[in-house]
Each structure stands twice: as structure tokens, then as C-alpha cells.
Amino acid sequence: MMYECSRRAAMGFGARRALRFLLLLLLPVSGAAGAGLAALPLVVNTWAFRKATETAWYTLQSGGSELDAVERGCGQCETDQCDGSVGFGGSPDEHGETTLDAMIMDGNTIEVGAVADLRRIKNAIGVARKVIKHTKHTLLVGESASLFAESMGFPCEDLTTQNSLSIYLKWLNQNCQPNYWKNVIPDASKSCGPYKQAKQLNSEEWINSQKRINIHNHDTIGMIVIGGSGNVAVGTSTNGAVHKIQGRVGDSPIAGAGAYADSTTGGAAATGDGDIMMRFLPSYQAVEYMRTGTDPTTACQKVISRIQKYVPYFFGAVICANTTGSYGAACNKVPGFTQFHFMVYSPLLNQPSEQVVDCI
Ligand SMILES: *[C@@H]1O[C@H](CO)[C@@H](O)[C@H](O)[C@H]1NC(C)=O
């Protein structure tokens, strides 16, 4: 295994291209705010991603399932490149490449389909749906996930755009700042890699390194859809943290972290600094709070408080909804992030409604 890894790493771009072309020939590719008033059906999603909300809603209205609504709603954001942090052409990693993480979960069966570190495929949540539909697996990663996607008919395309390239070049020009390395030489806070391991940071240096994270680099779409009869589906899609180390996977494709659904209780989804948030399984925890009778807003707040105790500076927010259609959200207050915007659509509203909560 090690041998194959280093062999791959040593392969030049041309060799990789040639290999990919060969694989393409071998594989069949067929083208392809506060407590809300309760009503069902309900669509709730993170951030002011209005078109995603609308698409999910119209999918339900035209007879689609909750899973269809989540897939198309999040897929809309992938097409629209919401905030540059969902879909292609955003958040280039340390080598300039955009990679995608996505997940979809069925609250009736507790089935999950997810992809992580997906390369050269635009519709990540579409691929995640195929993982549920056509495999007995839950999570596929990296280039192998791309091969799976190609076999399911998704087009293989370059995810780099002028925009992602210029973000990458600007970052190179500023000595690769900011980045996600620590305890390495050369000093990652001053220069680019390649890095080697160095001594431990002291605690003050560690706290400072935590403060550097730019909040606008983590705007995942997370969506909860609750159908007219209380069926819950959730999903996420993101291109991850900008300038991430290659191979980094965030919370979004991890069940219970990025999102969680249980049709006996409700659903939740998270956005923010996934490297921190995934350690607390915030979405699972929120659903568990709701299961024991906690209202959605309080459930979201309790999850944020739990993380705060360990990591006061984390950037993050959670949305929660229960099967009677109550919903809420909460976020952690840090400098530059004191309010969180999210979208809601229900029969009580005649259009997608942007809601705001004050962070705690
Ligand atoms: C959902 O939350 C609302 C608000 O707290 C509550 O009245 C309702 O009973 C909850 N529904 C379920 C199924 O727990």
C-alpha cells in the first residue's frame, strides 16, 4: 500500500492524465431565528442560500421526496457556487485543487450516502445519493469516489476556475498564509512548505493559531427537509476549508457531525469550522436533545455550549428542526461573527424567509 502511495505521489501530471484517460476508456461513462412557528412541510438551510431553499421547496411541491428535495436543494448551491464555498471553483487546497465533501441522510431508514475529498466531479451530493441507492457502503473518498461517480454517469471535469486559481496564486504570494500546519519547520506562520515536524507549540502559540481561522472560508450548505407526514431528510455540501492540507475532510460528510436525521425526532445540520465541530458530533447531539423533549432552538444552543467549554474561539452554527415543524438555530459568538443567517420555507410563509439569530 505504501509503495502504491509513493508511486502515485511521484507520478507527474502527464502520467496521471494518461492513467486517467486509460481508466476512462476502461470504465463505462454514460454521460452523465428564534423558535419558528410550526408547520409542515418544512425546509431549513444554513446561510442566506435562498435559491437552494426555493429549489428544495419546489421539489417537494412537485411531488418529489424529502431526499429529492435535499439533493436538488443542495445541488442548486453546487451549481450556483454559493458563497464560493460550495461546489466547483472555490476553496482551493494547498495545491490549488478544489475538492468536495457531501452527505445525504434518510431519517426513515437511517441510511447515509457520503463522499469526501471528491475530485473532478461537480455534483457531490448527487454522487452521495448514488452511494445510498447503488451501494451497501456509506462513505466513499478521494479519487476512488471520483471513479465511482464516473461509473454512475457523472461527468469528470476540472473544478478549477479563474477565481479559484487567483485565490491560490494570491495565497502563494503571501507565503502560504493562512494555513493549517503547526509544530513544523520551516515556521508555517511565516513561510510555505514543504514542512517537516518540529517541537510542540506552547499553549499561547496554540490559542493564537486557533484565532487565525477566517470565518468566511467555512460556509457549508446544510439542509433539513421535513415532509408533510414528518419524514426527515438532511444533507450537506461544501468545498471545505480554503488552503486545506491535501486529504483533509471536514465535518460535512460525517454522519452526526455535518448533519443527522431521524424521522422519529427531527433533523439537524452544522456549518463552521469542521475540524473542531466534527469532534463533538453536533448534529447527532442536537437530534438526541430533541428526542428527549428539548425544543429545537434550545437543542441547537446546548450543542454550541458544549463545544464552547472546550474551544471558546470556534466558528460555528447549527440548525435544528423537529417533526412537528418547529425549528431554530444557534451560533458561537466570536469577533466578526455575532449573528447567523439561515433560510426557512413552510406553508406559513409564501416565500423563502431569511431568519437571523444572535450568537451565544
Ligand atoms: C417540537 O418543538 C415544539 C416547540 O418546543 C414542541 O411544542 C413540539 O412538541 C415538538 N415536537 C416534537 C415531536 O417533539
330 within 8 A of 297, measured Cβ to Cβ? yes
Give, in words, the CATH class of 30-146+215-358.
Answer: alpha beta
pTM here? 0.88
For residues 129-148, average pLDDT: 98
Least confident of 97-101, 199-203, 219-223, 352-356: 199-203
- pLDDT at position 38, please? 87
- pLDDT at position 210, please? 56
Q: What are phi and psi of 137, to 5 degrees?
A: -90, 175
pLDDT per residue as tens digits for the range 160-172: 999 999 999 999 9
Residue ranges with strand state E in 192-298: 196-197, 221-226, 232-238, 259-262, 266-272
Ligand 1, atom 9: nearest CA belongs to which residue?
324
230 in a known ligand binding site: no
Cα–Cα distance, 290 to 297 (Å, whole number) = 9
272 within 8 A of 140, measured Cβ to Cβ? no
First to last CA, the chain: 47
Q: Is 324 a catalytic residue?
A: no
For ligand 1, what atom is nearest to the CA of residue 325? 1
34 in a known ligand binding site: no
271 in a known ligand binding site: yes
Secondary structure class of 210 (helix, strand, coil): helix
pLDDT per residue as tens digits for the range 216-250: 566 899 999 999 999 999 999 999 999 999 999 99
The one catalytic residue among 46, 53, 220, 297: 220
163 CA to centre of own chain: 20
Any atom of ligand 1 within 6 Å of the Cβ of 264: no
Centre of ligand 1 from the C-alpha of residue 146, in Å: 41
Any atom of ligand 1 within 6 Å of the Cβ of 323: yes
272 in a known ligand binding site: yes
Residues 6+ apart with CB under 8 A from 3: none
* 218: its cell numbers: 467555512
Secondary structure class of 84 (helix, strand, coil): helix
Centre of ligand 1 from the C-alpha of residue 349, in Å: 19
For residues 178-194, average pLDDT: 95
Q: Where are the alpha helices (DSSP H) in 152-295?
A: 162-173, 203-211, 274-277, 282-291
pLDDT per residue as tens digits for the range 81-110: 999 999 999 999 999 999 999 999 999 999
277 within 8 A of 260, measured Cβ to Cβ? no
For ligand 1, what atom is nearest to the CA of residue 295? 5
Q: Sketch the domain layout of the chain as residue ranges.
A: 30-146+215-358, 162-212
Q: Where are the alpha helices (DSSP H) in the chain?
A: 2-10, 13-26, 50-61, 66-80, 124-134, 142-151, 162-173, 203-211, 274-277, 282-291, 296-310
- pLDDT at position 55, please? 98
Residue of 279, 24, 18 lying closest to 146 (CA atoms): 24
